[in-house]
Chains A and B, each alone.
Chain A
């Protein structure tokens, strides 16, 4: 049974269990929507700060309801479909983008084990033994949303945007997956719950030793870059380059369908950051209240989610910072970065960290293994880079 990993389902499924699952689903969906609302407001405020502006401040206190107002406005706008559009695909595409974004978030552990109405369960929508594969599958399906939107619009700019999006997302999918493997090698499991458990809080040194961010530093950095590129966010947002493509793949979309794309875009970003927290920053792991019992509500319901959201907030701030600081990459720069640097670095890192993990398990002499791995890493990297055409040669071929 695929969902059997959650202790909630261990004793069979009855009405209460069903209710709990439905409740968790609704809560997760609401949480993600709220996070998107909050993130868009947060992004606009922080970018305004970084540009000496004030940002939205009219709707609600400090303008927090601005996104809601925008959403309501979009909801009441006319949804138009171009004459030359493929109407079925055109209607379908926004949901193909939004649903996987939400599904991917469902595997993220927000907290530890809690008990609801006598049932033990994880603070996480589903616990799938192959959780990370679900994530990869979802990000693959999300690509269809973007691609079909551009194709079904029956218009040239969305098509160009969609082609760019497919090329970009396919290219970075490789580096993205390999970066994930960097964390999986450390954890030895595909399940997000196991990954988080492997990074559990042991003491103040945990962020440097137990969390995978430091042991898998290269994979962490590659993951962040590739995740931003996967979600088409700045500086990798040439899918929606206004100067060249009007609005990119969603040019022909209006009203609520456009809003769904917009929502999916930010849902994806939040999901990616949440996955980064799960894989590399220990997920909900962090110090609790030591003087209380470990199953006290403060230690199960409150502190783990707090730590999770604090880490998530840091990463989200980073994405906004990127957005405010970096200009958009050119297409060839994007492809060079993805194919010539990230993929090979990620590959080598997986190989190197695999050796180190095995060495740790077998008790090999670390003083021998680590330098040997480093030398091998640099040698292969140098050999690979020597094989690439120099820029002037590359121009001759083009």
Chain B
């Protein structure tokens, strides 16, 4: 029956569950490390994290980020410190979502949500300005009319963590080295690639919000 067994294969599928995801109607949970559109974060006191250093623009392989810094107004500072991001634009017709800007950012100002379904009908809409990228007063990403959001798409945006820590030191895995976010505080970090409970894993769940280990060692 070898020649005809294919008929059985196709007939059997009829009684199996469908694998189709009904995409625009029902959104399945995003993969934990999905790279989506960016947000510009704020500290819990509402100050913007971006200091206008242009490192993200410099590292961007697609050259899609345009940043101009300016001095903080002394009486109404936008960001803590001397400078802030006066202009911040990302062209999503060019962005490849490589996340190098996130790695380059010294203040964790730019992070990526998991929003992937955004489609524009005008080129101007593809260039996100600072007003659109900056989180709102509750610390949530702004939802633009052409974006398809669900609540879990910006749930772990701020506390994104690498598999190992910054600098490649595996002992920092799973520890929060990031500053707190407006509306979220210190978010629990994403777990790394190392399996829990293996030798050398000294980080427990309870320590997730512990202060960062002495970074001045290096």
Using CB atoms and an 8 Å cutoff, list the residues of chain A in contact with chain B.
Answer: 49-54, 321, 324-326
Q: How distant is the Cα of A51 from the Cα of B19 in the complex, in angstroms?
A: 9
A324 touches B10 (CB 8 A): yes
Q: How distant is the Cα of A239 from the Cα of B19 in the complex, in angstroms?
A: 32
Task: Check if B121 is an interface residue, CB within 8 A of chain A.
Answer: no
Chain A residues, Cβ within 8 Å of B11: 50, 321
Contact residue among A52, A53, A325 (Cβ-Cβ distance under 8 Å from B7): A325
B9 touches A53 (CB 8 A): no
Chain B residues, Cβ within 8 Å of A50: 10-11, 13-14
A53 touches B10 (CB 8 A): no
Task: Output the least CB separation between A340 and chain B (Å).
Answer: 17
Task: Check if B195 is an interface residue, CB within 8 A of chain A.
Answer: no
Task: Check if B218 is an interface residue, CB within 8 A of chain A.
Answer: no
A53 touches B19 (CB 8 A): yes
Chain B residues, Cβ within 8 Å of A49: 13-14
Q: How distant is the Cα of A321 from the Cα of B13 in the complex, in angstroms?
A: 12
Contact residue among B10, B17, B18, B19 (Cβ-Cβ distance under 8 Å from A321): B10
Task: Output the least CB separation between B21 and chain A (Å).
Answer: 10
A–B complex contacts, Cβ < 8 Å, 17 sampled: A49-B13, A50-B10, A50-B11, A50-B13, A50-B14, A51-B13, A52-B13, A52-B16, A52-B17, A52-B18, A52-B19, A52-B20, A53-B18, A54-B18, A321-B7, A321-B11, A326-B6
Chain B residues, Cβ within 8 Å of A53: 18-20
Chain A residues, Cβ within 8 Å of B123: none
Task: Output the least CB separation between B88 and chain A (Å).
Answer: 39
Q: Which of chain A's residues has its CB closest to B16's CB?
A: A52
A325 touches B13 (CB 8 A): no
Q: Which of chain A's residues has its CB closest to B21's CB?
A: A54
B10 touches A325 (CB 8 A): yes
Chain B residues, Cβ within 8 Å of A326: 6
> Would you list the 7 A-B pairs with minimal beta carbon distance, nearest first?
A50-B10, A325-B6, A54-B20, A325-B10, A49-B14, A324-B10, A52-B19
- With an 8 Å Cβ cutoff, the count of chain B residues facing the other chain is 13
Q: How distant is the Cα of A39 from the Cα of B14 in the complex, in angstroms?
A: 18
Chain A residues, Cβ within 8 Å of B7: 321, 325
Task: Check if B122 is an interface residue, CB within 8 A of chain A.
Answer: no
Q: How distant is the Cα of A135 from the Cα of B186 in the complex, in angstroms?
A: 78
Per-residue CB proximity of B14-43 to A under 8 Å, as 1/0?
Answer: 101111101000000000000000000000
Q: Which of chain A's residues has its CB closest to B9's CB?
A: A325
Task: Output the least CB separation between A12 and chain B (Å).
Answer: 54
Q: How distant is the Cα of A325 from the Cα of B22 in the complex, in angstroms?
A: 25
Task: Output the least CB separation between B9 and chain A (Å).
Answer: 7
Task: Output the least CB separation between A30 and chain B (Å).
Answer: 31
Task: Output the least CB separation between A390 and chain B (Å).
Answer: 21
Task: Output the least CB separation between A225 and chain B (Å).
Answer: 14
Q: How distant is the Cα of A52 from the Cα of B22 in the complex, in angstroms?
A: 13
Chain A residues, Cβ within 8 Å of B10: 50-51, 321, 324-325
Q: How distant is the Cα of A53 from the Cα of B9 in the complex, in angstroms?
A: 15
Q: How distant is the Cα of A326 from the Cα of B11 in the complex, in angstroms?
A: 12
A52-B17, A321-B7, A324-B10 are known contacts; what are 12 more A-B pairs with Cβ within 8 Å?
Answer: A50-B10, A50-B11, A50-B13, A51-B10, A52-B18, A52-B19, A52-B20, A53-B19, A54-B20, A321-B10, A321-B11, A325-B7
Q: How distant is the Cα of A325 from the Cα of B7 in the complex, in angstroms?
A: 6
Q: Which of chain A's residues has its CB closest to B12's CB?
A: A50
Q: How distant is the Cα of A325 from the Cα of B20 in the complex, in angstroms?
A: 20
Task: Output the least CB separation between A233 and chain B (Å).
Answer: 16
Q: Which of chain B's residues has its CB closest to A51's CB?
A: B13
Q: How distant is the Cα of A325 from the Cα of B11 in the complex, in angstroms?
A: 9
Q: How distant is the Cα of A50 from the Cα of B6 in the complex, in angstroms?
A: 11
Q: How distant is the Cα of A54 from the Cα of B16 in the complex, in angstroms?
A: 12
Q: How distant is the Cα of A125 from the Cα of B122 in the complex, in angstroms?
A: 56
Per-residue CB proximity of B142-183 to A under 8 Å, as 1/0?
Answer: 000000000000000000000000000000000000000000
Chain A residues, Cβ within 8 Å of B19: 52-53
Q: Which of chain B's residues has its CB closest to A54's CB?
A: B20
Task: Output the least CB separation between B7 and chain A (Å).
Answer: 5
Chain A residues, Cβ within 8 Å of B16: 52
Chain A residues, Cβ within 8 Å of B18: 52-54
Which interface residue of B10, B17, B20 has the most chain A CB atoms within 10 A? B10
Q: How distant is the Cα of A54 from the Cα of B17 in the complex, in angstroms?
A: 10
Task: Output the least CB separation between B5 and chain A (Å).
Answer: 9
Chain A residues, Cβ within 8 Å of B20: 52-54
Q: Which of chain A's residues has its CB closest to B22's CB?
A: A54
Q: How distant is the Cα of A51 from the Cα of B13 in the complex, in angstroms?
A: 6
Chain A residues, Cβ within 8 Å of B6: 325-326
Q: How distant is the Cα of A344 from the Cα of B9 in the complex, in angstroms?
A: 32
Q: How distant is the Cα of A324 from the Cα of B16 in the complex, in angstroms?
A: 16
Chain B residues, Cβ within 8 Å of A52: 13, 16-20
Q: How distant is the Cα of A54 from the Cα of B10 in the complex, in angstroms?
A: 15
Task: Output the least CB separation between B25 and chain A (Å).
Answer: 10
Q: How distant is the Cα of A324 from the Cα of B13 in the complex, in angstroms?
A: 11
Q: How distant is the Cα of A326 from the Cα of B4 in the complex, in angstroms?
A: 9
Q: Which of chain A's residues has its CB closest to B5's CB?
A: A325
Task: Output the least CB separation between B103 and chain A (Å).
Answer: 39
Chain A residues, Cβ within 8 Å of B13: 49-52
Q: How distant is the Cα of A170 from the Cα of B81 in the complex, in angstroms?
A: 85
Task: Output the least CB separation between A327 and chain B (Å).
Answer: 8
Q: How distant is the Cα of A354 from the Cα of B155 in the complex, in angstroms?
A: 78
Q: How distant is the Cα of A219 from the Cα of B6 in the complex, in angstroms?
A: 24
Chain A residues, Cβ within 8 Å of B17: 52
